[in-house]
Amino acid sequence: MSRNSIRFIKLIRSFSTEATQISKPERIADELLNLNKFERHDFTILWRLKMGLDRYGAPVAGPGPLGPTSSDPTSAAATAAATEKTAFDIKLEKYDAGAKIKIIKEVRSFTDLGLKEAKDLVEKFPCVLKKGITKDEAGPIIEKLKELGATVVLDN
């Protein structure tokens, strides 16, 4: 955040019950109108974080008026469908020592790693080989590594 944004935040926090005719919301609105474009951007990010909103503006699931209620079965089903994991990690648990070179070559084929980086990654098992891929992309990779003698899991 910029220095002006930090000063603005401190200014908002320093508001106290002063004996003025202007109400606190009016003072805050006046200060917001005086911010430049970058300060407004920093303020909106800070505001969303303080309000518990994610980067897309949807409320974070939890108890309260915006979260799911236990009395509504359709909202529970919708929440379960919305939280279904779509991105997975491929995790190498262990491998046969004789198949180490083949596994390193296979790791290089589906990552952008060089020979040394792939070797170091495979040698420090258990480790995550690839992050954030779909089940469809992970299936062939896992099958190939299992054929080579590695124990691989799809991690949530």
Is residue 90 a contact partner of residue 132, using CB atoms and an 8 Å limit?
no
Asked if residue 92 and residue 44 are part of one domain, the reply reads no
pLDDT of 23 strictly over 80 = yes
Residue 20, in any domain of the structure: yes
Is position 136 within any domain?
Answer: yes
Q: Based on the structure, what is the number of domains in the chain? A: 2
Query: For 60-104, what is each residue's pLDDT tens digit?
Result: 555 555 555 555 555 555 555 556 677 788 888 888 888 889 988
Domain co-membership, 147 together with 92: yes
* 23 vs 59 pLDDT, higher one: 23
Same domain, 16 and 54: yes
User: Is the pLDDT higher at 13 or at 56?
Assistant: 13
Q: At what angle do helices 100-110 and 115-123 cross, to 10 degrees?
A: 120
Tokens representing residue 119 in the block: 């070797």
pLDDT in tens, 101-122: 998 888 888 888 888 888 888 8
Rounded CA separation 105/4 (Å): 52
Give a yes or no: residue 34 inside a domain: yes
Note the pLDDT of residue 77. 57
Q: Nearest to residue 106, comparing CAs of 78, 75, 142?
A: 142
Domain carrying residue 109: 88-155
CATH number of the domain to which 121 belongs:
3.30.1390.10
The predicted-structure confidence for 40-67, as pLDDT tens digits, reads as follows 888 888 888 888 776 554 555 555 555 5
